Amino acid sequence: MAEPLTQNDTAVRLDICGAGSLVRALLALNALLALVVLMRLPAGDGHVPMLLLLSWVEPAALLWLALMCMTQRFWRLRAAAVVLGVSAALGGASALGLNLMVQPLFAVLAPGAAQQPWQAALAGAALALVFVHYLQLRARAFTPIDMQARLSELQSRIRPHFLFNTLNAASALVREQPERAEAVLDDLAELFRASVGKPGTLVSLEQEIDLARRYLDIESVRFGARMQVQWTVDDSLLQIRIPTLTLQPLVENAVRHGVERSSRPVRIDIDVGRRLGQIEVTVRNDLPAMNDAPAPRRNGTGTALRNIRQRLHLLYDIAAEVDQGEVVEEGAPRWRARLRLPL
């Protein structure tokens, strides 16, 4: 479950509990063990020493990952040096504990190949230190990419055409429906506030849904009955925090490439729920008829999804998924954009 965060929290944080960290740690460790095998170390009779080494090294790595994950809430937002110190201490303790457990086996099967407990602890601490430092450098290296994607997204959010249409709609409502005109301008101000916010800011899912609803309220002034929106939201997920401007771009693309390009009513279905231990957000919209002008662009959501994918990859690594494509529902073609985030 995602931990509570403040508005100022950003996506550039170390997450040892993520699937990406687990995969990278095990791949690195097994690559190192393979190198040891190729070098025929440690020396001994046959394969017994190597099997004994494997009997405690792999479990020690898994134990270290488990301990780091369980204590993550205490060190995650600390200084880099503190995180490195915690990782080294837990790495040394994990290696020491598992090594002591197999010492009796070494004494019986390969006494000459046994590692001293202090050697195992030192190796575990060193490997943990190197791996966590790599994760820290990786997170920092991704930050410029995230900033560039965020700036590109900002430019795509503040479209002059959208701004012109919104102000035009508000102007037309001023005399006959002043309260609605005021609401449109309030919604527009909220969209701008989110767009110029701090890159990587995390907000509750409820706030992100509210932002998408504000955008749809603005567009409803233009399209009226041509835009039919259906929401299905799991209320138990509303306080989960996700990166800002994650849902709204998907909704905007459904309007731009569905409603705006169609001469007939278009239905937009927005579903937010749980699936296989993840948050799944799906936005589906009817595709314009072939005789509608201009012709629909089937790849119109590429830029928005690419920016979202970069930001989610920075925060959740390989645990997040983003995809899009044409689907058929009740015999009619529709466009679906979908993202999945870990709980």
Report whether 23 contacts 318 (CB < 8 A): yes
Check whether 99 has a pLDDT greater than 90.
no
Per-residue pLDDT at 1 exceeds 50: no
Q: Is the distance from CB of 279 to CB of 260 less than 8 angstroms?
A: no
In this structure, are residues 66 and 21 in contact, taking their beta carbons and an 8 Å threshold? no
Same domain, 71 and 186: no
Domain span at residue 325 reads 158-342
Answer yes or no: do 131 and 24 share one domain. Answer: yes
pLDDT for res 197:
61
pLDDT greater than 70 at residue 98:
yes
Average pLDDT, the chain: 76
Asked if residue 105 is part of any domain, the answer here is: yes
| Percent of the chain residues topping a pLDDT of 70 | 72
Report yes or no on 2 lying in a domain.
no
Is the pLDDT higher at 327 or at 16?
327
- What is the domain count for the chain? 2
Looking at the fold, whether 183 and 271 belong to one and the same domain comes out as yes
pLDDT in tens, 255-284: 888 888 888 889 999 999 998 878 999 999
Q: Is 241 exposed, middle or buried (0-12, 13-18, 19+ CB in 10 A)?
A: buried
Secondary structure of the chain as H, E, C letters: CCCCCCCCCCCCCCCCCCHHHHHHHHHHHHHHHHHHHHCCCCCCCCCHHHHHHHHHHHHHHHHHHHHHHHCHHHHCCCCHHHHHHHHHHHHHHHHHHHHHHHHHHHHHHCHHHCCCHHHHHHHHHHHHHHHHHHHHHHHHHHHHHHHHHHHHHHHHHCCHHHHHHHHHHHHHHCCCCHHHHHHHHHHHHHHHHHHCCCCCCEEEHHHHHHHHHHHHHHHHHHHHHHEEEEEEECHHHCCCEEECCCCHHHHHHHHHHHHCCCCCCEEEEEEEEEECCEEEEEEEEECCCCCCCCCCCCCCCHHHHHHHHHHHHHHHHHHCEEEEEEEEECCEEEEEEEEEEEC
pLDDT at 25: 83
Residues 300 and 249 in one domain: yes
pLDDT tens for each residue of 234-245: 999 999 888 888
Say what the pLDDT of residue 37 is: 67
Structure tokens that stand for 174 in this block:
């001023």
**In-domain check, residue 151:** no
The answer to whether position 35 is within a domain reads yes
The pLDDT of residue 4? 39
Please determine, for residue 76, whether its predicted confidence score (pLDDT) is greater than 60. yes
User: With 50 as the cut, is the pLDDT of residue 2 above it?
Assistant: no
Identify the domain boundary among 112, 143, 174.
Answer: 143
Tell me: do 136 and 164 sit in the same domain: no
| Same domain? 178 vs 242 | yes
Same domain, 199 and 54: no
Same domain, 137 and 162: no
Question: Quick check: pTM over 0.85?
Answer: no
Nearest residue to 268 (alpha-carbon basis) of 278, 259, 277, 276? 259
Please report which confidence band the pLDDT of residue 10 belongs to, taking 50, 70 and 90 as the band edges. Answer: very low
- State yes or no: pLDDT of 32 exceeds 60: yes
- Pair (302, 182) in one structural domain: yes
Question: Which of 7-11, 171-175, 285-289 shows the lowest mean pLDDT across its residues?
Answer: 7-11
Assess if residue 38 is contained within a domain. Answer: yes
Show which of 143, 173, 196 is a domain's final residue.
143
Here the CATH number for the domain that contains residue 240 is 3.30.565.10
Question: Which of 87-96, 210-219, 294-303 shows the lowest mean pLDDT across its residues?
Answer: 294-303
Residue 3 lies in a domain: no
User: Is the residue at 6 inside a domain?
Assistant: no
Query: Does residue 243 share a domain with residue 139?
Result: no
169 plus 205 within the same structural domain: yes
Domain end residue (candidates: 86, 117, 143): 143
Residue 271 lies in a domain: yes
- State whether 335 and 219 are in the same domain: yes
Q: Which of 10-24, 40-54, 91-105 has the highest mean pLDDT?
A: 91-105
Predicted pLDDT of residue 40: 58
Reported as a single tens digit per residue, the pLDDT across 181-235 is: 788 788 777 777 776 665 557 788 999 998 888 888 888 888 888 889 999 999 9
